[in-house]
Copies of this chain bind each other. A is one copy, B any other.
């Protein structure tokens, strides 16, 4: 893993988290307001709901999606209102709901380095609180009052669910094409990134081409983000990642590193992948061997190169906006999704 690990932990950017911090500092007040809206709206008379939701909030997500909504609204010159703040919270609620359901579906025990909500509160509560947060998201859209926003976010929600089901269907199936894998991550991840960015243009009442440009930016950033996520699941420093390396391997999840190693591998390699991923027959030493095969076939680099190409697309999509500090930061965030180590 030496080569790939260096790629991921040293990284081309000096310290990739700086890109997020720099963007966050440009919309600092908005982000504080957004966090306040999130905490307010996760309240309920049913005490378990805020308790479970707070567990996830306390686990310290990056708030990447709401940050994008806030930044895109500012990029589009939105002023004088708080629609972007409320819609950023709405985006985070949809994201959190899918995280809760994902962890149930995957049987995950860890999330961001802490015990997952399902591990602490049980699958039942995670499913139901996910439903609650999802409903809250649509209550926030109601309060916003824009049917255009409702269309963007309800379409995104349906696309996310389709992507998640498609991922379930492709599990353990090495005949999955790369195109299908890209379809999965477009649905499960990129759709919400796209919506998060697009609504920034909507609240600022910008023309359709700017809306589309931000949707394209969000899609590309989301694709890069998920490609790197899937690479990190094999190549990350476990302590930094805050989740167990090899989760995807153990679940037989079909991601680009697996597909790349499988297709570039020898006959013996392919037998190994068939046994471990398709037949789910794994021994202790198999993850180590999988990592060695990925190292030999350059599978992690393949995924990272693909991610870098999406990051370039993302930056190109911003070309129609005039140069500004916030546009610059959004471009750096695209690079961050590739260079991040967790």
Binding site for B on A (CB under 8 A): 44-49, 97-98, 101, 104-105, 123-125, 127-129, 131-132, 134-136, 138-139, 141-142, 145, 147, 150-151, 154-155, 157-158, 160-162, 164-166, 168-169
Contacts A45-B162, A46-B165, A139-B155; A131 near B134 (Cβ below 8 A): yes
Complex alpha-carbon distance, A151 and B48, angstroms:
24
Please name the residue on chain B nearest to A163 by beta carbon. Answer: B46
Write 18 A-B pairs (CB below 8 A) sorted by A numbering.
A44-B165, A46-B169, A47-B169, A97-B131, A104-B123, A104-B127, A125-B165, A128-B161, A128-B164, A128-B165, A131-B134, A131-B164, A132-B158, A132-B165, A135-B160, A136-B158, A141-B154, A142-B147
Beyond A123-B123, A132-B162, A142-B151, 18 additional contacts (C-beta under 8 Å) are: A44-B162, A44-B165, A46-B165, A46-B166, A49-B165, A101-B127, A104-B124, A104-B127, A105-B123, A125-B168, A128-B165, A131-B157, A134-B134, A138-B150, A138-B154, A139-B154, A141-B150, A145-B147
List B contacts of A127 (CB < 8 A). 101, 104-105, 127
Give the oligomeric copy count. Answer: 2
Are B105 and A161 interface neighbours, CB within 8 A? no
Measured CB to CB, the closest approach of chain B to A12, in angstroms, equals 36
Complex alpha-carbon distance, A108 and B169, angstroms:
23
Point out the residue from B101, B139, B154 that lies within 8 Å of A128, measured CB to CB: B101
List B contacts of A142 (CB < 8 A). 147, 150-151, 154-155
Measured CB to CB, the closest approach of chain B to A116, in angstroms, equals 15
Are B169 and A131 interface neighbours, CB within 8 A? no
List B contacts of A135 (CB < 8 A). 154, 157-158, 160-161
List B contacts of A161 (CB < 8 A). 128-129, 131-132, 134-135
List B contacts of A97 (CB < 8 A). 131
